C-alpha cells in the first residue's frame, strides 16, 4: 500500500471549491428518476445522460473533484467510443466506483438492514483499478425509529464498512466510508445527533481495529438534521452548528476530508447547510459535498431525454456545481440562486 498516493487522492477529492458528483444510482433508482421526467430507462439513455454530465466542461473542470460511478457506467463508452472514465479524467476529475451490492434485512433485527458485497470484492477492486477507478464508495444504512437503531445494526454495518475500507486500501483505492443515518423519520435533530455520534464512534473504532489508514480515506456522513416528518425543522444555523460539533467530537483530524451526502434535502438546503458550516472554521479536515440528487435533479429536468436539451441540462448542472463549489468555501449566498432563476 502506497499511503502517500492514497493521501494525495483523498486530499484531491476534498480540494477547496470542489466536490464529488455521486452518479452511482442503481438501475432501480435511476429508473424512478427517469420516470419522473418521462424518459425510458434504457442503457443507451442512461449512458447519454451521464455523458452529458461528464462533458459539462465548466462544471467538471472547475467544481467537480471526482465522480462515483455505477458498475454499468464504468464499463460504458461515450457515443464516439471514448470510455466514460476517460471523459472524466480529461476534465481533471477522478473516477470512482460504488462497490456495495445494496442492502438485505438484518437477521434478528426487524426493520434494520445490512449492506452486502464483501464476497469477491478484492477481485472486483483489481478490475476497477485497471479500468481507472482510484476511489470507491460503500454505503451503510442506519434508520431511526421506535426501538431502532439497535447496537447490532450499528456494529454489523460499521464492521462491514471497515472491512471494505481495508480491502480498498490494499488494492490502492481510496475508500469513501459512508455510514448514512436516514432522515426519513419524525425524529428531531438531537435524536439524529445522538444516533450519528454512536454510528461514527463505532465506525472509527472498527476502522482502527482493521488497520485502515485514516490518512487515506474520505468520510461521507449525513448532517445532523431533523427527520423529514418532524414537526419542528431545525434552522440552517442549528444544522451547521450541531453538525460541526458532532464531527469535531467524532472524526479524527487524520482524516483528510469529509464529503457530505445530501440525503433527501432540497438542492438549496444542501447548499445552504454546507455553506453555513464553513462559517464555523477553521476546521481540521477538508469539508465539501458528495451529492447525487442535489446536483442532478435540475439537469435531469432540463434535459428530459432530448438531444436538443443537452446544453440546457449542462447549464443547470454547471449552476448547481458552482453553487456547491462556492458553499464548500463559505462563499455562497442565496441571492446567487435568485439571479440564475
Residues annotated catalytic, as ranges: 178, 220
Per residue, the 3-state secondary structure of 160-203, as one string, reads HHHHHHHHHHHCCCEEEEEEEECCCCCCCHHHHHHHHHHHHHHH
Sign of CA pseudo-dihedral 265, 197, 203, 150 = negative
**Rounded Cα distance, 147 and 105, in Å:** 16
The grid coordinates of residue 81 equal 467510443
Side-chain-side CA neighbours of 64 within 13 Å: the count stands at: 34
Task: Find the distance separating the first CA and the last CA of the chain, reported in whole Å.
Answer: 48
Q: Single out the residue of 285, 270, 326 nearest to residue 14, CA to CA.
A: 285
CA distances from 265 to 145, 182, 304 (A): 19, 11, 22
CA distances from 255 to 169, 178, 215, 288, 299 (A): 14, 14, 5, 13, 32
Contact 84, 78 (CB under 8 A): yes
Q: Single out the residue of 179, 166, 267, 156 nearest to residue 212, CA to CA.
A: 166
The grid coordinates of residue 25 equal 444510482
User: For residue 310, what is the DSSP state?
Assistant: H
Helix (H, G, I), strand (E, B) or coil at 306: coil
Contact 334, 323 (CB under 8 A): no
Rounded to the nearest 5°, which phi and psi values hold at 95? -75, 140
Side-chain-side CA neighbours of 303 within 13 Å: the count stands at: 26
Residue 297's CB is within 10 A of a number of other CB atoms, namely: 19
Amino acid at each position: 500500500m502506497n499511503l502517500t498516493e492514497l493521501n494525495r487522492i483523498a486530499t484531491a477529492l476534498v480540494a477547496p471549491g470542489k466536490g464529488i458528483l455521486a452518479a452511482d444510482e442503481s438501475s432501480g433508482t435511476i429508473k424512478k428518476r427517469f420516470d419522473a421526467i418521462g424518459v425510458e430507462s434504457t442503457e443507451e439513455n442512461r449512458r447519454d445522460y451521464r455523458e452529458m454530465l461528464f462533458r459539462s466542461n465548466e462544471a467538471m473542470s472547475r467544481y467537480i473533484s471526482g465522480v462515483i460511478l455505477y458498475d454499468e457506467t464504468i464499463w460504458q463508452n461515450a457515443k464516439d467510443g471514448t470510455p466514460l472514465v476517460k471523459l472524466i479524467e480529461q476534465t481533471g476529475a477522478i473516477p470512482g466506483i460504488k462497490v456495495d451490492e445494496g442492502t438485505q434485512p438484518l437477521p434478528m433485527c426487524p426493520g434494520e438492514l445490512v449492506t452486502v458485497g464483501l464476497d469477491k470484492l478484492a477481485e472486483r477492486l483489481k478490475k476497477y483499478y485497471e479500468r481507472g477507478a482510484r476511489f470507491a464508495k460503500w454505503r451503510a444504512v442506519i434508520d431511526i425509529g421506535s426501538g431502532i437503531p439497535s447496537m447490532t445494526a450499528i456494529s454489523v454495518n460499521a464492521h462491514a464498512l471497515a472491512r471494505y475500507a481495508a480491502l480498498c486500501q490494499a488494492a490502492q483505492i481510496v475508500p469513501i466510508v459512508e455510514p448514512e443515518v436516514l432522515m426519513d423519520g419524525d425524529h428531531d435533530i438531537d435524536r439524529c445527533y445522538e444516533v450519528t455520534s454512536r454510528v461514527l464512534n463505532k465506525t472509527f473504532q472498527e476502522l482502527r481495529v482493521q488497520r485502515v489508514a485514516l490518512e487515506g480515506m474520505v468520510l461521507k456522513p449525513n448532517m445532523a438534521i431533523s427527520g423529514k416528518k418532524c414537526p419542528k425543522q431545525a434552522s440552517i444555523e442549528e444544522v451547521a452548528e450541531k453538525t460541526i460539533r458532532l464531527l469535531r467530537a467524532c472524526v479524527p483530524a487524520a482524516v483528510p476530508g469529509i464529503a457530505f451526502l445530501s440525503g433527501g434535502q432540497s438542492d438549496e438546503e444542501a447548499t445552504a447547510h454546507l455553506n453555513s458550516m464553513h462559517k464555523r472554521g477553521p476546521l481540521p479536515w477538508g469539508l465539501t459535498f458528495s451529492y447525487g440528487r442535489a446536483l442532478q435533479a435540475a439537469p435531469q429536468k432540463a434535459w428530459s431525454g432530448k438531444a436538443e436539451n443537452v446544453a440546457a441540462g449542462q447549464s443547470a448542472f454547471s449552476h448547481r456545481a458552482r453553487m456547491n463549489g462556492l458553499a464548500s468555501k463559505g462563499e455562497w449566498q442565496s441571492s446567487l440562486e435568485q439571479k440564475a432563476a
